[in-house]
Structure 1
Amino acid sequence: MEVKVFKDKNEVAHKFSAYFKELVKGKEIFQVALSGGSTPKIVFDVLAADYGDKIDWSRIHFYWGDERCVPPSDDQSNYKMTVEHLFSKIDVPSKNIHRVLGEADPMGEAMRYANLLEINLDRVEGVPQFDLVILGMGDDGHTASIFPHEIALWNSNDHCVVATHPDSGQKRVSINGKVINCSKEVVFLVTGSSKAQKVDEIHHKKAGFEKYPASLVNPDSGQLVFFMDEAAASKL
């Protein structure tokens, strides 16, 4: 595991974007699972502004680690956010964008998306393998859309699961822990002081840390990188 700490979320966005450019360089096809949230929004802005003409986007295929079960026109849609902050500003073929159909029946869509991953990605012992999975971490220690109260979904037999937000009851489609840990590389983007407590508990393996899904991220490749700002890393 590698931990990179930067001044603020803007610096995190710039450093990760440069890192991403190097990661995709020379790859024939690069398969990445995106995250939603405020930090990826800034990352997408930076990628579009600074690397829009420096990356061959035709080689990159975009998926999502999780998606809210809302239409693509809804402001809560991770897909909509990515279109507004990245896809609308770069030259990426529409066939390279593989969105979760948030407007569809959640269970049916989880099955469809799992099947899509199984067809499109290489598999390791039956598990679809991304080149990169980008993750965030919630204040409650959740990652993707695996929440502490549904941590059993992490090891689900299904590569995509239907999760339920603990407060709103909103349904979400998410990849499971097996798919996350099968990825060639996993990057956490964690910013803000509200994350500091969980970062501390997970990194120092404090009592009860295993109840946080984010603590279960341990890619088989050993390639796990945290990009954090000083606020999130303040207790390390």
Structure 2
Amino acid sequence: MEKKRSDAEAEVRFFESSEELSTGLADYVHHVSESAVRERSSFSLALSGGDIPERLGKLAGLPYLRTVDWTKWHLFWAEENVVPKRHPDSFYMQAKQHFISKVPIPPAHVVSAGHEMPGEAAADAYEFSVRQQVKNRMVPASPACDCPRFDLVLLSLGPCSEVSSLHPNHPVLREGSQWVAPVSVPGSQRERLTFTLPVINAAANVVIVASGSDVARAFCEAMADRRPLASSPAQMIRPIDGKLVWFVDAGAASLFSGGGAVASTSSS
């Protein structure tokens, strides 16, 4: 059973299980896509890694498979490992396995961020691809800044409050001009690409998924809004002229207000 409450800044939706969260997320993505297609005949979606690709597999089943206007979808990546797009660690490849290969999105509408070149060059190449899409009006421009205005950006909360490979106290959190930046992932030798904060916060809708007990403390800190912003990147996700929604399961809510998945709050 879903519980939710909203305020002027964000809406938080609690679910009793991870499975219910996935179903609720699929419904939400469907709703946003329908609205975007109805208004502009196009829907732009930026995905992150983590559990997002697998959760989107819900959209490959009924009723979504038949009711979604897949020809109007345009897919991008909010983060991606710097590997060829067919590499097992590629978030594109994971999304293809769980989702893309099972729905009729036109291949030309899937803008891959995977490259075999070094991080900085890969970031430049991916940003160029995104700018070309903006130029072709596939992604509407944001009136608030010189950034693309994605209809929806899907993010996953990490145990250190990281989202979209934006880690605490990383210099990229201060980046204001680039759309895409290379980052080193703590504890890994692998480089990643990530959308910068101005791009994420220019989106019309942003979702942060918090799932599992390993992110319970990070979720509580984000709700308390007490840590310095640079040490809690999730708190820095604040759409300028858009909507932020948290999707939270019982594990992630287990330390919050002692109420688990049946609690309700807003991120004021």
Compute the TM-score of the two structures, normalised by the length of structure 1. 0.94
Q: Give ranges in structure 2 of 5+ residues lacking alignment.
A: 1-9, 135-139, 257-268
Residues 159 and 218 in structure 2, CA contact (< 8 A), matched pair in contact too: yes
Whole-angstrom distance in 2 between the partners of 1:175 and 1:144 = 7
Tell me by how many angstroms 1:210 deviates. 4.2
* Alignment of structure 1 residues 193-212 onto 2, 5 Å: 193-208=213-228, 210-212=230-232
Residues 180 and 196 in structure 2, CA contact (< 8 A), matched pair in contact too: yes
Whole-angstrom distance in 1 between the partners of 2:94 and 2:229 = 31
Whole-angstrom distance in 1 between the partners of 2:118 and 2:71 = 30
Whole-angstrom distance in 1 between the partners of 2:22 and 2:53 = 9
Tell whether 2:59 aligns with 1:47: yes
Tell me by how many angstroms 1:97 deviates. 0.3
Residue equivalent to 1:2: 11
Residues 202 and 209 in structure 1, CA contact (< 8 A), matched pair in contact too: no
Whole-angstrom distance in 1 between the partners of 2:195 and 2:221 = 24
Q: Quote the RMSD (CA, aligned, Å).
A: 1.5
Compute the TM-score of the two structures, normalised by the length of structure 2. 0.83
Tell me by how many angstroms 1:171 deviates. 0.5
Residue equivalent to 1:215: 235
Residue equivalent to 1:12: 21
Whole-angstrom distance in 2 between the partners of 1:132 and 1:232 = 22
Whole-angstrom distance in 1 between the partners of 2:159 and 2:192 = 18
Residues 229 and 236 in structure 2, CA contact (< 8 A), matched pair in contact too: no
Whole-angstrom distance in 2 between the partners of 1:206 and 1:110 = 32
Residues 201 and 209 in structure 1, CA contact (< 8 A), matched pair in contact too: no
% identical aligned pairs: 26
Could you list the per-position Cα deviations for residues 89-109 of structure 1 after superposition, in whole angstroms to 9, with x for gaps in the alignment?
Answer: 111110110010232332112
Q: Compared with structure 1, are the counterparts of its residues 86 and 155 closer, same or farther at alpha carbon in structure 2 (3 Å cutoff)?
A: same
Whole-angstrom distance in 2 between the partners of 1:178 and 1:63 = 16
Could you list the per-position Cα deviations for residues 148-196 of structure 1 after superposition, in whole angstroms to 9, with x for gaps in the alignment?
Answer: 141x212312110000011113100111000000001100111000101
Whole-angstrom distance in 1 between the partners of 2:43 and 2:152 = 8
Letter in 1 for 2:104: D
Residue equivalent to 1:123: 141
Tell me by how many angstroms 1:129 deviates. 1.3
Tell whether 2:212 aligns with 1:192: yes
Residues 207 and 245 in structure 2, CA contact (< 8 A), matched pair in contact too: yes
